[in-house]
Amino acid sequence: MLLKVQVGLMQKLQILKRNVGEFVNNERGDMVGTIGWMAVTAVILVLVYTLIKNWLPDFVGGITDKMDSISQPMDNQ
C-alpha cells in the first residue's frame, strides 16, 4: 500500500517537474515582460508604503485612544 502511494507521488512529482520545466523554458525574458513585472513591483511597493505611512499610524492611534478612554475612571453619580 505504501509503495503504491510512493510510486503515485513520484509520478505526479515528475509530471509537475516536467510542466514547470516547460513553463520556465518557454519564458524568453523579453524586455516588455521585464518592464511589466517592474511596473507591478513598483505598484506593490507604493501600495505597501502608503499603507504603512498613512493607515498604520491612524490605526494604532485609534487603538491607543480607545485604550486610554477605557482605562480612565468612571464618575460615580
Render pLDDT for 5-47 as a digit per residue (tens, 0 to 9): 888 889 999 999 888 877 766 666 667 778 888 999 999 999 9
Which amino acid is it at 21?
A: G
* Cell (9 digits) for 33: 515582460
What is the predicted pLDDT for the residue at 39?
A: 93
CA 56 to chain centre: 17
Residue found by looking up cell 505611512 in the block: 53
Q: What is the pTM of this model?
A: 0.42
E strands, the chain, in order: none
Q: What is the DSSP letter of 55?
A: I
